[in-house]
Structure 1
Amino acid sequence: MSDSNTTRFDYVSAGKQTISIEQEAIQALNDSLGEAFNQACHSLLNCKGRVIVTGMGKSGHIGTKIAATLASTGTPAFFVHPGEASHGDLGMFTKEDVVIALSNSGESNEVVTILPLLKRKGITLISITSKPHSALATSADISLVTPIEREACPLNLAPTSSTTAQLVLGDAIATALLEARGFSAEDFAFSHPGGALGRRLLLKVSDLMHSGDEVPSVSPGTLIQEALLEITQKRLGMTTVVDDNLLPLGIFTDGDLRRAIDQGVNLNQATIDSVMTKSFTTVTPEMLAAEALQIMQDKKINALIALDETGRVAGALNMHDMLKAGVI
């Protein structure tokens, strides 16, 4: 095709046409959900083994994603290539498992080949296909149909609408199971410890706080100018004021310093206990970092003191620590 013909082609219209056709496929799928979907979810929820997803070609790629979504939302699952299954990987399958097999035509040779073996093992089979009378659908214990009238491909050949419907149906199954199981955000975080959500929900104050000599600390009676030196050295924007037993008496922050200056306090002569904040917010080391962050945001403060079970200062952290750890 020449450059002049290429520039005249309306890519936007072609793209919108594809999206429109796939939207129709999703709507048809939504309208078709019924008792078979209930049965499939019930079977998966009560599976005592693992959910094994299989499919060939583009359906296999979708199956891989479905298995990953199930696994990350509380349903133990993995993908097995149907070709590999017939060459030894069927040994992974047990009668306690549930198999989800995807094939748009329902006639994929690699998938159909293993169906009798699944039956002999007594494994529950859920099919996802657009052909309710296909070999796969009729062999399945539960048949889920994706009612696709046409592919979004203008040749009606490339898997587009069909794979979109498979993917959406897989997501529908996974989220329905998630809700039925009472799967929580914290459960999700345990499956995603490396992600932002995992950091937000798994990190505790103890994982982020400064402790020991890193905690800025002065005694009552300390001159303000000496306290400022402690704040500068420890770089948390505040200092604790504690007694000999490390019990907190107050906190002195950048805000307290500004207020002292506004009030004309002599920083070279006044002591820290005359300007410190005696009523302050604390957390515990076992508190989730996300909870501590919420406290900071609600109270519009930049630092917190963590107290141990005896009420003594165990550590301190500030907003920068939250940012550095990816909690924010």
Structure 2
Amino acid sequence: MTNLPLGKLPLELLSEIIQKSPILDNRVIIGPKIGMDCAIIDNGNSYLVLKNDPITFTPENIGWYAVQINVNDIITTGATPKWMLATILLPENMTTAVMVKTISSQLFWACKDKNISFIGGHTEITHGIDRPIISATLIGEVEKDHLITPCGVQIGDDILLTKGIAIEATAILGNDFESLLLNSLQPEEIINAKNYIYDPGISIYKDATIAIQIGGIHAMHDPTEGGLSSALWEMAFVSDKSFLIFEDNVMCSDLSRKICAHFKIDPINSISSGSLLMTVDPNFSENIINELKNNGIQCSIIGTVISEGSNVEIENFRGRNVLIRPDQDDITKVYKLK
């Protein structure tokens, strides 16, 4: 029997599992579904929005990281993040009281910063792991008529992207593989790469909040594992719409391109937390882009929604072709070097 590769489960296997998930309560509005990052539960006058995400790639500032990643998914639904639980697994023979206090302090500080109540979880020393791992659950709340999901994509929408691709990949590679970059990057570039977690940053809280306030948002998504390519396909799949992407409009910093080139990975297929992907009424696009720019956030129109039917095409100097959906995040190729 063949072992599965590092990263997310193969799409076919995940679909098979999801189809067997029991939904036994009619208050569940949205359950597990390809392309849907959050579950939605009817809470009477509002919806509860629930998300669970682990932090497995990097131990750097892992408590703070766990909050940002989960907030990203909650905020893309238009919901306000409110309550968090976390399971913290710590490595045997490597864990100290200082480590435990540091991670919990990171969690609590990040929750306070986003006005989130930390309401429970579980912590243990675990056999068989070599670094801390956190799996956090975040619950948000949204008024029913303000809910945003990828199902809202409409033909004719502009497709907008903030900041650029491979932000998180740059931060992870700079922190976890510094020794492999010493011959290709200047010391200042490595420092900058490590700091990508904060600048331009992996949080899309500000991006999404500004865009929602302007209006015209039909769908939002957070490109995580598999990068922009996977995020576009997930949105296209769940909305049953076809996207056309203009590659020249997809922002990627010179530093991110340089690091990805060093490891021979494609930035469009690399983990990209920090970028906000939106489909927007074209009448609102310019105002959203300008207001984001006024707040120090780059944003560009990278494509358009062209028709019914799940598909993603990309247009570049080679012409117009189907954008290949990656089986796994390109960054996993680098971890195989360890």
- Both proteins in one fold, TM over 0.5: no
Q: Which has the larger radius of gyration?
A: 1
Instruction: Please classify the TM superposition score into its range, dividing by the shorter chain length.
Output: under 0.3
Q: TM-score, normalised by structure 1?
A: 0.22
Structure with the higher fraction of residues in strand conformation: 2
